[in-house]
Structure 1
């Protein structure tokens, strides 16, 4: 990747780091106030909202990001179209909530669905501004929007939870978050929509948009079907336990892989016609993401029994084995983010769609088998096993389009692979000798030992790559690039 793309990734990662720190500070506070039942109810409703929300975007964000047009009919038409789609989908979701309420007048699900309707409209209106920000590389905008919206919405959630609003604290948190995000991104995206609605200006981009929409739908089913199935078969409380575990293991993806997506997408678009540069960008991006996410997820799995009880409280203890199993899923999701940015960035969304269908089918099968046991721990294990099976063909397809070999990719990733194994060995060697210490003291010792071991192995396994990464970061710090 170029220095410009890497600097953009660092800006986004910094913004998301602040966002994640705030969210992690909120988790123990809200978890203790609300409990698994409220979290489970919100986790049961959100997949329906997010699924419908996919159609509000309709793939327009990525179409705008790849477009060469700076303004005019295409951008304006795409903006009004996304707004109309959002409004229509709000009406559909409201009707669905009415059906749920009619079938069960005592249900708490329908009111929560209605309370989250504004999220649909606001997220739809974000599609075109998001695309403009990605295209112009004004990535500081995303960082600012994430930080401000997370801070303010978190304060709102805490105040409402303290006043016994229950699940509605989470509902209002989402509404405030999306309102602030829409406002900030729209103001700094340069979007100035005109009263123009020409579908013919959008039609050249429809194939790409529809393909990316299909990818989003399939990936959503693969990632969120577990919440729906667990909620309906086992109940909101069990879903709350699983959803909390899933939220924790997604932290590395949200902190690193998610923010990096915009920069990776831009880098792959720039190198799409240069096979050598594309292959190098792919391996570099994969190595960077994996070597950061691996110690976070491996470390969380190894010390979950020490880290989670002080944070979440005793009533969340059952989440520990769920987190340990789902850590594998977390790493697969980080890898999939890089592959997704690659395939869409080079204009091959059809390949990603087929890969996503395979991923969804495999994951849903695993979830269905695990749900028959009515245990969130077994479901977590089934999801992780299914994810490992699903990612193999995806790595193969990515290797084909970049003209590389999967074995070469694994060799490039030898540092984090050996590093994770060393972390496990260090943990198992030290734990028996730390039994007399307080849990938090044990946690601190293990974190320090594992971090040191991982960094040493990372350097020893691939000193050339480690030196290159250090030089790149040092150059960026010296240059202090100013992003518009």
Structure 2
């Protein structure tokens, strides 16, 4: 198998594992939301966010270096392994010395215990990552995908079973720990690499130099995406944070199943596009994304109330209102999501980092300004942040590669308008109980069908030509036959 085919196959299995994990995690999340109380559910979500941040220092940098090196060196890999183990232990000590006492005094004894238990996860990742890098270099992505899926499935089963047995918040913690341990053990057993003790530290500077910028970027990305969550958790408490977490869960799954895979493909494609054709390539990507993603965003927001009640239960009704507001972010998500990779593909990583800093500052500032007025105000601030950062990001992009916000709007406004009309119509129908259906499932099915019909009708009646132009971009162009009399190259 060629290197190209190995890469494509590996990407397919990675995306499949990601999709499987997202579906399983969403199902487990929904079950846990029904079983656990609002307060303890929010408490667990906060604890997981803290450990996710600590985990950045383990999962970023070192394994990427091993994958991109020209040749595999067991000595270098062993040194990387021991560095990771040192970092993992340091993180565990930090969690016990700092995070646990803070959780004890700011939330509760239970919060401190949950965070302490979660410290196992960074250590498990430290054990796994070098072995995972070895498997990735050998293009054993199918096996890795299987190990990841086995971990997710085992963790999900443990969470659900222990929750049904009355373990409360601990059920989620048990599941997360089992997931990490199962994936680590399977990866370790199947990898051909075995670490040895290394006395030569001459490669240590290379490891540190490679990892530092990646950790810094991940650090900024984490806080830019979690800024509003941090504000809500700190100022409004665990219960309020739980409602916000449930509201954002649906969109998180949508992002992971749509934007993330498309973003990986976009980086590979845009990096091979000539500068003069970059604008056209970006237009194609945003147009195709808007066609399919915008109606999903607006549609979930429009049916938020029956959706939340059906999936998570009646006690999460306040989350439905928040979900409907968050749906208004759809146009900004489509236009802005690819911008960092657009800059990176053109050799401008510093400018891409600037976009992340814009996200961080605005996403933190607006929720902080509005937190006094409560959760709904903070969520409105999140939506406003999306539009403000959109303007600022395109100012940077236009300056460096010449693509403007006006061009992005030209590629997506038809789909955003159709989605917004659909959103308004479906939301009005749901709020006024237009169809008078007696069951939630029937109501949800009718509303989804209504939304799909409205969106499709608007595109076919008002924007038929542009819609079919975008759909034609999905076709695979056949290879051209060489002219007669000329040899194939």
TM category, shorter: 0.7 to 0.9
Q: 1:464 aligns with which of 451, 454, 469?
A: 469
- CA change 1:124–1:378 in 2 (3 A) is farther
Q: 2:124 aligns with which of 122, 125, 129?
A: 122
Give TM-score, length-normalised by structure 2: 0.82
Greater RCO (CA < 8 Å, at least 6 residues apart): 1
Tell me what 2:308 maps to: 308
Tell me what 1:449 maps to: 450
Q: Could you say what secondary structure the match of 1:108 adopts?
A: helix
CA distance in 2, matches of 1:184, 1:69: 24
Give the 5 Å matches for 1:27-66. 27-66=29-68
CA contact (8 A) 1:299 1:423 kept: yes
Give the 5 Å matches for 1:410-421. 410-414=409-413, 416-421=415-420
1:377 deviates by 1.9
Deviation per CA, 1:102-141: give whole Å up to 9, x if none: 7579522211110100111223445445656666765545
Give the 5 Å matches for 1:56-455. 56-100=58-102, 103=105, 107-128=109-130, 139-141=141-143, 143-184=145-186, 193=195, 195-196=197-198, 200-201=202-203, 203-204=205-206, 206-207=208-209, 209-267=211-269, 271=272, 274-275=274-275, 282-329=282-329, 338-344=338-344, 348-373=348-373, 375-398=374-397, 403-414=402-413, 416-424=415-423, 426-427=425-426, 434-438=434-438, 439-455=440-456
CA distance in 2, matches of 1:96, 1:284: 48
CA distance in 2, matches of 1:256, 1:106: 38
Mark the runs of 5 or more structure 2 residues left unpaired by the alignment.
480-489
Q: Could you say what secondary structure the match of 2:109 adopts?
A: coil
- CA change 1:105–1:423 in 2 (3 A) is closer
- CA change 1:167–1:343 in 2 (3 A) is farther
Q: Which moved more, 1:437-446 or 1:375-384?
A: 437-446
CA distance in 2, matches of 1:434, 1:352: 47
CA contact (8 A) 2:394 2:404 kept: no
- Measured on the aligned residues, the alpha-carbon RMSD in Å equals 3.6
CA distance in 2, matches of 1:10, 1:415: 31
CA distance in 1, matches of 2:397, 2:358: 14
Equivalenced residue count is 470
1:381 deviates by 1.3
- CA change 1:387–1:271 in 2 (3 A) is same
CA contact (8 A) 1:146 1:181 kept: yes
Give TM-score, length-normalised by structure 1: 0.83
CA contact (8 A) 1:253 1:334 kept: no
Q: Which moved more, 1:221-230 or 1:183-192?
A: 183-192
Deviation per CA, 1:216-237: give whole Å up to 9, x if none: 1112112223333322322211
CA contact (8 A) 1:5 1:263 kept: no
1:424 deviates by 2.5
1:54 deviates by 1.5
Deviation per CA, 1:5-33: give whole Å up to 9, x if none: 77765554444333333233323321121
- CA change 1:335–1:178 in 2 (3 A) is farther
Mark the runs of 5 or more structure 1 residues left unpaired by the alignment.
476-484
CA contact (8 A) 1:141 1:184 kept: no
1:280 deviates by 5.9
CA distance in 2, matches of 1:82, 1:89: 10
Q: Which has the larger radius of gyration?
A: 2
CA contact (8 A) 1:156 1:172 kept: yes
CA distance in 1, matches of 2:328, 2:138: 35
- CA change 1:376–1:107 in 2 (3 A) is same
- CA change 1:425–1:139 in 2 (3 A) is farther
CA distance in 2, matches of 1:281, 1:205: 36
1:198 deviates by 5.7
